[in-house]
Amino acid sequence: MFYLNEIEDYVRVEPRLFKLETFEAVEKQLRETYEDYYDKELGKVVAVVEVLEVGRGVIIPGDGAAYYKSTFRLVSWKPELHEMVYGVVSEIANFGAFIDMGIMKGMIHISQTMDDFVSFSKANSLLGKASKRTLKQGDICLARIVAISHKGDSPKIGLTMRQPGLGKLEWIKEEKIKRNKEAQKAMKVEAKVKTKKIK
Protein backbone atom coordinates (compact mmCIF):
# COMPACT_ATOMS: atom_id res chain seq x y z
CA MET A 1 0.00 0.00 0.00
CA PHE A 2 1.29 3.49 -0.84
CA TYR A 3 1.76 6.06 1.91
CA LEU A 4 2.56 9.78 1.94
CA ASN A 5 4.80 10.31 4.98
CA GLU A 6 5.73 13.61 6.57
CA ILE A 7 9.02 13.26 8.44
CA GLU A 8 10.98 15.55 10.72
CA ASP A 9 14.62 14.55 11.13
CA TYR A 10 18.19 15.81 11.09
CA VAL A 11 19.61 15.47 7.59
CA ARG A 12 23.36 14.92 7.36
CA VAL A 13 24.60 16.98 4.39
CA GLU A 14 28.01 15.90 3.11
CA PRO A 15 30.72 18.56 2.55
CA ARG A 16 30.72 17.98 -1.23
CA LEU A 17 27.23 19.58 -1.31
CA PHE A 18 28.25 22.77 0.54
CA LYS A 19 28.64 24.63 -2.77
CA LEU A 20 24.83 24.45 -3.23
CA GLU A 21 22.21 26.58 -1.53
CA THR A 22 21.26 24.98 1.82
CA PHE A 23 17.71 24.04 0.77
CA GLU A 24 18.96 22.52 -2.49
CA ALA A 25 21.79 20.66 -0.68
CA VAL A 26 19.33 19.14 1.83
CA GLU A 27 16.97 18.12 -0.97
CA LYS A 28 19.79 16.50 -2.99
CA GLN A 29 21.11 14.69 0.10
CA LEU A 30 17.62 13.36 0.92
CA ARG A 31 17.17 12.01 -2.61
CA GLU A 32 20.55 10.23 -2.42
CA THR A 33 19.93 8.91 1.10
CA TYR A 34 16.46 7.52 0.38
CA GLU A 35 17.25 6.01 -3.03
CA ASP A 36 16.71 2.22 -2.61
CA TYR A 37 15.89 2.75 1.08
CA TYR A 38 13.76 0.19 2.90
CA ASP A 39 12.60 0.22 6.50
CA LYS A 40 10.24 -2.27 8.17
CA GLU A 41 8.02 0.52 9.53
CA LEU A 42 8.24 2.96 6.62
CA GLY A 43 8.38 0.51 3.71
CA LYS A 44 10.26 1.02 0.43
CA VAL A 45 10.79 4.71 -0.35
CA VAL A 46 9.56 5.50 -3.84
CA ALA A 47 10.42 9.20 -3.93
CA VAL A 48 11.21 12.28 -1.89
CA VAL A 49 8.23 14.45 -2.82
CA GLU A 50 9.21 17.77 -1.28
CA VAL A 51 11.23 19.46 1.41
CA LEU A 52 8.91 21.58 3.54
CA GLU A 53 11.33 23.22 5.96
CA VAL A 54 15.06 23.38 6.65
CA GLY A 55 16.28 24.67 10.02
CA ARG A 56 19.66 25.98 11.05
CA GLY A 57 22.67 23.75 10.55
CA VAL A 58 24.74 22.13 13.26
CA ILE A 59 28.32 20.94 12.90
CA ILE A 60 29.52 18.12 15.14
CA PRO A 61 33.24 18.12 15.99
CA GLY A 62 35.08 15.34 14.19
CA ASP A 63 32.45 15.10 11.43
CA GLY A 64 32.92 17.29 8.36
CA ALA A 65 29.21 17.23 7.51
CA ALA A 66 26.49 19.64 8.59
CA TYR A 67 23.19 18.52 10.14
CA TYR A 68 19.97 20.37 9.33
CA LYS A 69 16.71 19.75 11.17
CA SER A 70 14.31 19.34 8.27
CA THR A 71 10.72 18.46 7.54
CA PHE A 72 10.07 16.60 4.30
CA ARG A 73 7.57 14.32 2.57
CA LEU A 74 8.24 10.86 1.13
CA VAL A 75 6.07 8.46 -0.83
CA SER A 76 6.63 4.86 0.25
CA TRP A 77 5.16 1.46 -0.51
CA LYS A 78 4.77 -0.90 2.41
CA PRO A 79 3.69 -4.48 1.64
CA GLU A 80 0.64 -5.48 3.71
CA LEU A 81 -0.60 -9.02 4.36
CA HIS A 82 -3.62 -9.92 2.19
CA GLU A 83 -3.02 -6.95 -0.12
CA MET A 84 -3.74 -7.66 -3.79
CA VAL A 85 -0.93 -6.63 -6.15
CA TYR A 86 -0.36 -6.55 -9.88
CA GLY A 87 2.97 -7.72 -11.23
CA VAL A 88 4.88 -9.12 -14.16
CA VAL A 89 6.53 -12.54 -14.07
CA SER A 90 10.24 -11.70 -14.18
CA GLU A 91 11.65 -15.20 -13.79
CA ILE A 92 10.45 -18.80 -13.79
CA ALA A 93 12.21 -21.44 -11.70
CA ASN A 94 11.46 -25.11 -11.05
CA PHE A 95 10.07 -24.15 -7.61
CA GLY A 96 7.88 -21.22 -8.73
CA ALA A 97 7.97 -17.74 -10.19
CA PHE A 98 9.31 -14.32 -9.27
CA ILE A 99 6.86 -11.46 -9.72
CA ASP A 100 8.10 -7.90 -10.28
CA MET A 101 5.60 -5.58 -8.59
CA GLY A 102 7.39 -2.47 -9.85
CA ILE A 103 8.77 -1.39 -6.49
CA MET A 104 9.73 -4.80 -5.09
CA LYS A 105 9.76 -8.43 -6.16
CA GLY A 106 7.76 -11.25 -4.65
CA MET A 107 7.98 -15.03 -4.98
CA ILE A 108 5.12 -17.36 -5.73
CA HIS A 109 5.69 -21.03 -4.95
CA ILE A 110 4.78 -23.48 -7.72
CA SER A 111 1.92 -24.84 -5.56
CA GLN A 112 0.42 -21.34 -5.29
CA THR A 113 0.41 -20.45 -9.01
CA MET A 114 -2.92 -22.08 -9.93
CA ASP A 115 -5.56 -24.45 -8.61
CA ASP A 116 -4.16 -27.44 -10.50
CA PHE A 117 -1.22 -29.85 -10.44
CA VAL A 118 1.62 -27.69 -11.77
CA SER A 119 4.91 -28.77 -13.28
CA PHE A 120 7.98 -27.01 -14.63
CA SER A 121 8.15 -27.45 -18.41
CA LYS A 122 11.17 -27.58 -20.69
CA ALA A 123 9.90 -24.36 -22.30
CA ASN A 124 10.81 -22.56 -19.04
CA SER A 125 7.20 -22.13 -17.97
CA LEU A 126 4.85 -23.54 -15.36
CA LEU A 127 2.13 -25.79 -16.79
CA GLY A 128 -1.20 -26.83 -15.23
CA LYS A 129 -1.90 -30.54 -15.83
CA ALA A 130 -5.71 -30.45 -16.15
CA SER A 131 -6.26 -26.82 -17.16
CA LYS A 132 -3.32 -26.69 -19.62
CA ARG A 133 -2.73 -23.12 -18.40
CA THR A 134 0.84 -21.83 -18.65
CA LEU A 135 2.69 -19.19 -16.70
CA LYS A 136 5.79 -17.76 -18.33
CA GLN A 137 8.13 -14.81 -18.15
CA GLY A 138 6.40 -11.53 -19.11
CA ASP A 139 2.88 -12.60 -18.03
CA ILE A 140 0.91 -9.98 -16.10
CA CYS A 141 -0.71 -11.33 -12.94
CA LEU A 142 -2.88 -10.36 -10.00
CA ALA A 143 -1.73 -11.96 -6.74
CA ARG A 144 -2.28 -11.66 -2.99
CA ILE A 145 0.48 -11.15 -0.40
CA VAL A 146 0.39 -14.08 2.04
CA ALA A 147 3.78 -13.81 3.75
CA ILE A 148 6.31 -11.08 4.57
CA SER A 149 9.71 -11.79 6.11
CA HIS A 150 11.91 -8.89 7.21
CA LYS A 151 15.17 -10.83 7.52
CA GLY A 152 18.00 -9.23 5.57
CA ASP A 153 18.21 -5.88 3.78
CA SER A 154 14.89 -6.10 1.98
CA PRO A 155 11.73 -8.07 2.73
CA LYS A 156 10.91 -11.44 1.23
CA ILE A 157 7.32 -11.36 -0.06
CA GLY A 158 5.33 -14.57 -0.56
CA LEU A 159 2.39 -14.50 -2.98
CA THR A 160 -0.54 -16.71 -3.98
CA MET A 161 -2.78 -16.86 -7.05
CA ARG A 162 -4.86 -19.85 -5.85
CA GLN A 163 -7.90 -17.82 -4.85
CA PRO A 164 -10.91 -16.79 -6.95
CA GLY A 165 -10.25 -13.65 -8.97
CA LEU A 166 -6.47 -14.05 -8.89
CA GLY A 167 -3.96 -15.31 -11.46
CA LYS A 168 -2.72 -14.42 -14.88
CA LEU A 169 -4.95 -11.65 -16.30
CA GLU A 170 -6.02 -13.86 -19.23
CA TRP A 171 -7.23 -16.53 -16.76
CA ILE A 172 -9.25 -13.96 -14.82
CA LYS A 173 -10.85 -12.74 -18.06
CA GLU A 174 -11.67 -16.33 -19.11
CA GLU A 175 -13.28 -17.03 -15.71
CA LYS A 176 -15.38 -13.86 -15.95
CA ILE A 177 -16.65 -14.80 -19.42
CA LYS A 178 -17.43 -18.33 -18.17
CA ARG A 179 -19.37 -16.98 -15.16
CA ASN A 180 -21.32 -14.55 -17.36
CA LYS A 181 -22.30 -17.38 -19.75
CA GLU A 182 -23.42 -19.54 -16.82
CA ALA A 183 -25.46 -16.64 -15.38
CA GLN A 184 -27.14 -16.01 -18.76
CA LYS A 185 -27.94 -19.72 -19.10
CA ALA A 186 -29.43 -19.77 -15.59
CA MET A 187 -31.55 -16.68 -16.40
CA LYS A 188 -32.88 -18.35 -19.57
CA VAL A 189 -33.83 -21.49 -17.62
CA GLU A 190 -35.55 -19.36 -14.97
CA ALA A 191 -37.44 -17.42 -17.66
CA LYS A 192 -38.67 -20.71 -19.23
CA VAL A 193 -39.83 -21.97 -15.82
CA LYS A 194 -41.77 -18.73 -15.22
CA THR A 195 -43.33 -18.92 -18.70
CA LYS A 196 -44.54 -22.51 -18.06
CA LYS A 197 -46.05 -21.48 -14.70
CA ILE A 198 -48.01 -18.63 -16.33
CA LYS A 199 -49.52 -20.95 -18.98
pLDDT at 109: 95
pLDDT at residue number 166:
94
Predicted pLDDT of residue 198:
62
Q: What does the pLDDT look like over 90-114, one tens digit per residue? A: 999 999 999 999 989 999 999 999 9
d(CA 111, CA 159): 11
Q: How many CB atoms lie within 10 A of CB 166?
A: 20
Catalogue all structural domains in the chain, each as residue range(s) with its CATH number. 2-77 (3.30.1490.120), 84-178 (2.40.50.140)
Residues 6+ apart with CB under 8 A from 7: 71, 72, 73, 74
Contacts of 80 (CB under 8 A, 6+ apart): 1, 145
pLDDT at 170: 92
Q: What is the pLDDT of residue 117?
A: 93
CB 94 within 8 A of CB 81: no
Q: Check: CB of residue 133 under 8 Å from CB of residue 114.
A: yes
By the 10 Å C-beta count (0-12 exposed, 13-18 middle, 19+ buried), 59 is classed as exposed
CA 100, 106, 108, 113 torsion-angle sign: negative
Query: Would the pTM count as exceeding 0.75?
Result: yes
Backbone angles phi, psi at 77, to 5 degrees: -120, 125
Rounded to whole angstroms, the Cα distance separating 128 from 121 reads 10
Tell which residue, 128, 130, 132, 125, has the closest CA to residue 114: 128
Stretches where the chain sits below pLDDT 50 are none
Question: What's the pLDDT score for residue 143?
Answer: 96
Residues facing residue 195 across a β-bridge: none
